[in-house]
Amino acid sequence: MDVNDMILVSIDDHVIEPPDMFDNHVPEKYRAEAPKSIMDENGFEKWWFQGVASASSGLNAVVGWPNEEWGLNPTTFAEMRPGSYDIHQRVRDMNRNGILSSMCFPSFAGFNARFFQEAQDKDLALIMLKSYNDWRIDEWAAAYPGRFIPLAIGPVWDPQELANEVRRVARKSPGSATTRTPTRSGRTPPSSCSTR
């Protein structure tokens, strides 16, 4: 399909982060401590970081499945549509559907970077969060310029580092950042800001 024929911009997509996403972005001395996708004893592939497992991302990968089959499945990459986690397959799917551009929300990391926010070692979590954003911008979005609106996550546990990260990713690429900030009621509604 010719890109000039596409008119749809999808701003509520999700990415299933591929198992090798940290390989090119975590500094060498921290690589052994980077989050890893590991199959648990129940056959679920989950991300593990500092001894804690993420929730299943399966519901974010049910594209093509009948609605009545939606749930926590698929549980492994082998069961997912490759366009959920493979950028080249994602663009192929977008072309088929006439989608010009897409903004993909995180899966295992959470909208507000909860997976990193709840980590014990916040310094290490910040390194991994920055590596996550670098993957989103330098690898995922950069593979097909103009086809993806980069969406960074922020270290909401530290307001100064949050501001620093928004500025850092804005210098790398125009896009957006997503955070959730607690309200008086304790609820955390989604919020986002443009870095353009």
Each residue's pLDDT tens digit, 137-180: 999 999 999 999 999 999 999 999 999 999 999 999 877 766 55
Tokens 């009545």 locate to 68
Band (pLDDT 50/70/90 cuts) for residue 54 is: confident
pLDDT at 194 over 60: no
**Whole-number pLDDT of residue 60:** 53
d(CA 74, CA 65): 10
**Whole-number pLDDT of residue 12:** 85
pLDDT at 122 over 60: yes
Band (pLDDT 50/70/90 cuts) for residue 110 is: confident
> Where is mean pLDDT largest: 39-43, 55-59, 187-191?
39-43
d(CA 101, CA 99): 6
d(CA 147, CA 60): 20
Q: What is the mean pLDDT of the chain?
A: 84
Question: How many degrees, rounded to 5, is the angle at CA 34 between CA 45 and CA 158?
Answer: 110
pTM of the model as a whole = 0.84
d(CA 196, CA 41): 44
**Alpha helices for 2-149 (secondary structure H):** 87-97, 114-117, 122-134
Query: pLDDT digits over 147-157, tens only?
Result: 999 999 999 99
